[in-house]
């Protein structure tokens, strides 16, 4: 059954119930769940404070993402009494969205230089976006969390922060959506979403079908295979071409603690529960790295509650606004 047909069957009036039977590869019996339909309100940006380390989660890049980011950061700074020591930016399972918002978010942490460029079929249609000269954190240590669900606009942000050595990327390889879609109006109040260009990171990398590799590889669980489906696995994808094919040089500015970060949780690590950040291994290791960069002591065992990402149903491409 096509996805849109399945969605139509599942949708209904708010406060009505639907029963779903789920079949999973590693689960011997089907799982039956009863859900209550609701109108979904997406919180684009969520935040939490861990001692003096700020945590900001971006779920997607829509028209309000940059404003919500600034609001969340200012709130964290107030909660920390103006003494924030570092920041964790969580882009895991962020499917992307608007290109201009990816540029604005990147410019919130990078003072100068290129953020991203796009190259279309005709050279005259190529574009470049530069930073605006403002780092809202004034250079605080940063870690960016990425995984196989980080796509498109979130890869633009993580790629820019990595190329400028502005942040340390931690997690697993991203999705690899390196194309730009434009919405082209057509007669009759219609429109066509057309892939019009590839985008490139400041160093000239095209991540199309390749993705962004983190500086520190950390799996979510011991048996985590990563996202099973990436851009490279799809049919009729755009080829990775036109970018800098030179293998990037290993970073020499990583904190010393990077060598001590394990690439997977220990055997006794608790099962992940999104309501309990203490079970989020990637987040906890990201906090360790930021604290080390900020010169803070190791965190206490108890970790306060904070929001964590849920896996989305699909990824969207970045698009011109």
Helix axes 153-163, 99-107, angle to 10 degrees: 30
Q: Give the C-alpha separation, 313 to 124, whole Å.
A: 36
Q: Are both 25 and 118 inside the same structural domain?
A: no
**What's the confidence (pLDDT) of residue 248?**
67
**What's the confidence (pLDDT) of residue 97?**
93
Q: Are both 14 and 109 inside the same structural domain?
A: no
Over range 274-299, report the average pLDDT.
93
CATH code assigned at 283: 3.90.226.10
163 is catalytic: yes
163, 215, 280, 316: which is the annotated catalytic residue? 163
Residues 144-186: tens digit of each pLDDT: 999 999 999 999 999 999 999 999 999 999 999 998 888 899 9
177, 179, 219, 292: which is the annotated catalytic residue? 177
Q: Taking 50 as the threshold, does the pLDDT of residue 313 lie above it? A: no
Q: Are both 135 and 148 inside the same structural domain?
A: yes
Residues 71-116: tens digit of each pLDDT: 999 999 999 999 999 999 999 999 999 999 999 999 999 999 999 9
174 is catalytic: no
Q: Give the C-alpha separation, 115 to 131, whole Å.
A: 6
**What's the confidence (pLDDT) of residue 233?**
64
Min mean pLDDT across 110-114, 280-284, 302-306 is at 302-306
Q: Taking 80 as the threshold, does the pLDDT of residue 225 lie above it? A: no
152 is catalytic: yes
Q: Are both 54 and 37 inside the same structural domain?
A: no
Of residues 238, 200, 218, the one with CA closest to residue 285? 218
**What's the confidence (pLDDT) of residue 104?**
97
Q: Are both 106 and 5 inside the same structural domain?
A: no
Q: SS3 sequence, 98-155? A: EHHHHHHHHHCCCCCCEEEEEEECCHHHCEEEECCCCCCCCCCCEEEEECCCCCCHHH
**What's the confidence (pLDDT) of residue 77?**
98
The number of domains in the chain is: 2
Q: Are both 93 and 20 inside the same structural domain?
A: no
Average pLDDT value over all residues in the chain: 88
Domain span including residue 13: 1-41
47, 107, 117, 152: which is the annotated catalytic residue? 152
Q: Are both 30 and 120 inside the same structural domain?
A: no
Q: Taking 80 as the threshold, does the pLDDT of residue 238 lie above it? A: no
């Amino acid at each position: 059954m096509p996805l849109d047909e399945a969605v139509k069957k599942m949708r209904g009036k708010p406060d009505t119930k639907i029963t779903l039977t789920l079949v999973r590869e590693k689960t011997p019996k089907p799982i039956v769940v009863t859900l209550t339909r609701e109108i979904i309100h997406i919180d684009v940006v969520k935040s939490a404070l861990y001692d003096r380390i700020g945590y900001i989660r971006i779920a997607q890049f829509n028209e309000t993402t940059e404003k919500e980011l600034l609001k969340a950061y200012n709130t964290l700074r107030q909660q920390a009494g103006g003494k924030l020591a570092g920041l964790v930016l969580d882009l895991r399972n962020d499917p992307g969205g608007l290109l201009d918002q990816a540029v604005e978010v990147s410019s919130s942490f990078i003072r100068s230089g290129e953020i991203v460029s796009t190259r279309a079929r005709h050279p005259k249609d190529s574009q470049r976006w530069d930073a605006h000269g403002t780092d809202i954190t004034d250079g605080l240590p940063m870690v960016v969390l990425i995984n196989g669900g980080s796509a498109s606009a979130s890869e633009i942000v993580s790629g820019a922060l990595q190329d400028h050595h502005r942040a340390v990327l931690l997690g697993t390889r991203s999705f690899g959506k390196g194309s730009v879609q434009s919405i082209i109006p057509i007669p009759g109040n219609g429109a066509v979403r057309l892939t019009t260009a590839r985008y490139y990171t400041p160093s000239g990398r095209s991540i199309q079908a390749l993705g962004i590799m983190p500086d520190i590889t950390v799996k979510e669980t011991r048996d985590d295979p990563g996202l099973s489906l990436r851009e490279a696995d799809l049919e009729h994808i755009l080829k990775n071409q036109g970018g800098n094919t030179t293998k990037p040089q290993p970073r020499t500015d990583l904190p010393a603690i990077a060598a001590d970060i394990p690439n997977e949780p220990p055997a006794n690590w608790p099962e992940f529960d999104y309501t309990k950040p203490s079970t989020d291994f990637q987040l906890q290791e990201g906090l360790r790295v930021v604290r080390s960069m900020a010169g803070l002591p190791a965190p206490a065992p108890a970790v306060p509650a904070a929001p964590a990402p849920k896996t989305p149903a699909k990824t969207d491409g970045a698009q011109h606004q």
